[in-house]
Structure 1
Amino acid sequence: MTSPQELALVTYSTKPRGGVVHTLSLAEALHRQGVPVHLIALGERDAGFFRPTPVPHTIIPAPRREATLEARVFASLDTLAEGLAELSDRFDILHTQDCISARAAARVRDAGAPVTVVRTVHHVDDFTTPALIDCQRRAIFEPDRVLVVSEYWRELLRTEYDVESHVVANGVDPRRFGPLPAELRSRLRKGIGAENRFLFLAVGGVEPRKGTVHLFRAMSILKDLMDTPPVLAVVGGHSFQDYADYRDAALSALPALGLELGTDVVLLGTVPDSELSAWYRAADALAFPSVKEGWGLAVLEAMSAELPVIASDLPVFKEYLTDRRNALLTPVADAAALARGMRELAESPELRTRLRLGSRPTVSRFTWEASAAQHAEIYQDIRSAGGGARPAGAVRKAG
């Protein structure tokens, strides 16, 4: 009896967070290229993913939400491991996209399932409890192959974890971000009071990693400096982690900053995928002042929608962004510098045009089709090598 030759992409959620978007987009590109692929995720079985997908998939019912992050992580890990154990005889490769799915897949493999566990490390979280720190370390050491989305994270895994990895960049599907009818653009902007005001879009919700407090402070500076201050619309906010304290503190600080929620700062929340595409086209620029990122999918999405980008000068961004050529880059966590850049972007049509034109080669370079082709070569290499045998130089230290 021959072993199965089907790939499963595994993720911890069905919600529109970066890692899940990556998983779904990669699976769809592989599917278009004729690679047998199946999606597996924790979620609500009848609800499916945040957008429809033609890729065959299995939704394992998620456990009830526990009170603490630590309890949520381990409950999800146990539930996903149980579900994967029942499915593992269908697959020879389990490609996992996060700590929870990586550890669950490794548990199934170690119980005797003949599968190779691949892990994409999108970024490393700043956990504080010993149990979660240990869980994250094991999710990096335990997989048979480790992939990363940038050279920055490849070097970090090498120096801090003594783990070798292979870089496969993220991508974008420009077809998802096509032109928007003028009437719909006008209606969206009017709905948040941005008919005659410059509209910055922020994607990812109000959370520490997105640098939201620095963006709010920059908006406060702009309100004092500009005759017609801009509007900031914030999309997203669903997260496995609980950022309620950060969010509440950031929003409660708005009055002291001279900003009014609903007028200067508008929270759009998690929107349908089609509506997110519309907001990219309705806005005037993307403000993405992250203090930490694995890659920054929202940047590529904005570029695909011909939306100028202002972002932090993080090393990972500088791998594909060049200041004043395809994006405006400002120092990390520097609200004053961010405000200066945002003002220049708002007041300079020439700069916005230059950034739009400069973004086009970047968008054409980073596609999901190219990413899928690279992944397919890695899967073939694993199969040619006989499955789970780890490549030379990839022995991991569990300490």
Structure 2
Amino acid sequence: MRIGIVCPYAWDVPGGVQFHVRDLAEHLIRLGHEVSVLAPADDDTPVPPYVVPAGRAVPVPYNGSVARLTFGFLSAARVRRWLHEGAFDVLHIHEPVAPSLSLLACWAASGPIVATFHTSNPRSRVMVAAEPIVQPALEKISARIAVSEYARRTLVEHFGGDAVVIPNGVDVGFFARAEPRPEWSGADVPDGGTIGFVGRINEPRKGLPTLLEALPRILAARPGVRLLVAGRGDEEEAVKGLPAEVRARIEFLGMVSDEEKAALLRSVDLYVAPNTGGESFGIILVEAMSANAPVLASDLDAFRQVLDGGAAGELFPVEDAEALADAAVRLLGDPERLAELREAGSRHVRRFDWETVAADILSVYETVTTGAAAIVGEDPGGGWRARLGLARD
């Protein structure tokens, strides 16, 4: 099958959508499909051979973050040329309402179109205002996928229609096979343990300030604890105001490679996700569970869903630093509970492996290419596949 995939966000800036598009494309290629990805990138940006650069991206505030998008006449021309040269059997557009390549491709394309919606933002005034502009493009879509129930709800509330829920995928084996690094482990330190955090340091919704606020309380109970922070941002600004003895227990690792991230998650005694909102899924939680790391996360709807209602990881009230600290101290002092969380996470994470997720996405591709009009919905029992004749033995 010839598959075209459109990524709306800058290829060289780490993000959940970019990782999803990359991993999906590479998995499909390994299965023998011909895949081309169109993404914002300068012509001199190093990209894999399956990626076609579509021009420089510019930063735009979006959904509590800063998205790097590309739009305009040059981008539109590149979209049209890519579509013409690709002659794709199916076009898979991610975030089709984003004012970037995705919307341009939706306007320009014909033939079977699958769209994946990642955003969870149920009160977006921008989306309400954009509805008359994007609705004609959305009407061209043959099948809609949402990465979570909360992304589906955002789609339904703002644009109508419905979507099947297929979660983000993870190469579970990649994280499970990673080797722990002794320098990132705290198992042998009295009253110790290592806490891991991965995310952009200066993006408030990633929640690092909540974790840093909790750290003095954690250290008062367990003075040997270390916090390992991986991600880009202003490190000095992040720790400003913290006592020197607390700063000494924080190690900033900067940007890390995929291999380093996997090793980090395999090494820590507890992974903490203190995000404050704007999350439609929680891919880092799946990666942590894949790496056999116990997870403690803020009680966002999306995180609760990923963690199986709290069965595969513990939850604390959003932005409650005191509750975070109490839970972290309790868990780090309870090896049996940590082992239970590791086991539960390892079992639960299998549903997110690319072998399962890509098979579901390919089923949608096959449906639209054989004439099905739309994905009409999803139910927890998987009945959407049966309604569309996609049930697997």
Q: TM-score range by the shorter chain?
A: 0.7 to 0.9
Cα separation, 2, equivalents of 1:36 and 1:217: 49
1:42 equivalent among 25, 37, 40: 40
What displacement does 1:157 show? 2.5
Q: What is the CA deviation profile of residues 175-232 of structure 1, one whole-angstrom value per residue up to 9, with x for unaligned ones?
A: 21144556xx124459xxx966411111112222222221111112212x31424221
Structure 2 segments unaligned to the other structure (5+ residues)? 378-393
Are 1:98 and 2:95 an aligned pair? Answer: yes
The TM-score normalised by the length of structure 2 is 0.80
- The answer on whether the counterparts of 1:177 and 1:305 sit within 8 Å (CA) in structure 2 is yes
Q: 1:129 to 1:171 in 2, by over 3 A?
A: closer
SS of equivalent residue, structure 1 residue 163: coil
Q: What is the CA deviation profile of residues 206-264 of structure 1, one whole-angstrom value per residue up to 9, with x for unaligned ones?
A: 222222221111112212x31424221121238xxxxx7xx876432434xx6644x22
Higher alpha-carbon deviation: 358-367 or 91-100: 91-100
- The answer on whether the counterparts of 1:202 and 1:234 sit within 8 Å (CA) in structure 2 is yes
Q: 1:302 to 1:73 in 2, by over 3 A?
A: closer
2:150 equivalent among 145, 152, 167: 152
Q: 1:141 to 1:298 in 2, by over 3 A?
A: farther
- The answer on whether the counterparts of 2:117 and 2:155 sit within 8 Å (CA) in structure 1 is no
Cα separation, 2, equivalents of 1:137 and 1:214: 39
SS of equivalent residue, structure 2 residue 307: coil
Q: 1:347 to 1:324 in 2, by over 3 A?
A: farther
2:334 equivalent among 348, 352, 356: 348
- The answer on whether the counterparts of 1:151 and 1:167 sit within 8 Å (CA) in structure 2 is yes
2:256 equivalent among 265, 271, 286: 271
Are 1:282 and 2:267 an aligned pair? Answer: yes
Q: What is the CA deviation profile of residues 282-308 of structure 1, one whole-angstrom value per residue up to 9, with x for unaligned ones?
A: 211110122221111111111111111
Are 1:311 and 2:309 an aligned pair? Answer: no
SS of equivalent residue, structure 1 residue 9: strand
What displacement does 1:150 show? 1.2
Letter in 1 for 2:83: S
* Residue pairs, 1:243-392, within 5 angstroms: 250-255=238-243, 260-261=246-247, 263-292=248-277, 293-322=279-308, 325-385=311-371
SS of equivalent residue, structure 2 residue 338: helix
- Name the structure 1 match of 2:218: 222
Cα separation, 2, equivalents of 1:74 and 1:281: 31
2:53 equivalent among 40, 59, 65: 59
Q: 1:384 to 1:306 in 2, by over 3 A?
A: same
* Residue pairs, 1:103-114, within 5 angstroms: 103-111=100-108, 113-114=109-110
Cα separation, 2, equivalents of 1:385 and 1:152: 28
Cα separation, 2, equivalents of 1:107 and 1:212: 35
- The answer on whether the counterparts of 1:259 and 1:265 sit within 8 Å (CA) in structure 2 is no
SS of equivalent residue, structure 2 residue 312: coil
- Name the structure 2 match of 1:208: 204
Q: 1:233 to 1:74 in 2, by over 3 A?
A: closer
* Residue pairs, 1:103-182, within 5 angstroms: 103-111=100-108, 113-124=109-120, 134=129, 142-143=137-138, 144=141, 145-181=143-179
- Name the structure 1 match of 2:390: none
- The answer on whether the counterparts of 1:92 and 1:114 sit within 8 Å (CA) in structure 2 is no
The TM-score normalised by the length of structure 1 is 0.78
SS of equivalent residue, structure 1 residue 200: strand
Q: Percent identity?
A: 27
Cα separation, 1, equivalents of 2:369 and 2:249: 54
Cα separation, 1, equivalents of 2:136 and 2:342: 41
What is the number of residues matched between the two proteins? 362
Q: 1:363 to 1:203 in 2, by over 3 A?
A: same
- The answer on whether the counterparts of 2:4 and 2:37 sit within 8 Å (CA) in structure 1 is yes
What displacement does 1:13 show? 2.1
- Name the structure 1 match of 2:31: 33
Structure 1 segments unaligned to the other structure (5+ residues)? 239-243, 394-399
1:235 equivalent among 223, 230, 234: 230
Cα separation, 2, equivalents of 1:125 and 1:319: 16
Q: 1:295 to 1:140 in 2, by over 3 A?
A: farther
What displacement does 1:317 show? 2.2
Q: 1:195 to 1:363 in 2, by over 3 A?
A: same
Cα separation, 2, equivalents of 1:371 and 1:353: 27
Q: 1:173 to 1:254 in 2, by over 3 A?
A: same
Cα separation, 1, equivalents of 2:53 and 2:262: 25
Letter in 2 for 1:62: R
Letter in 2 for 1:121: F
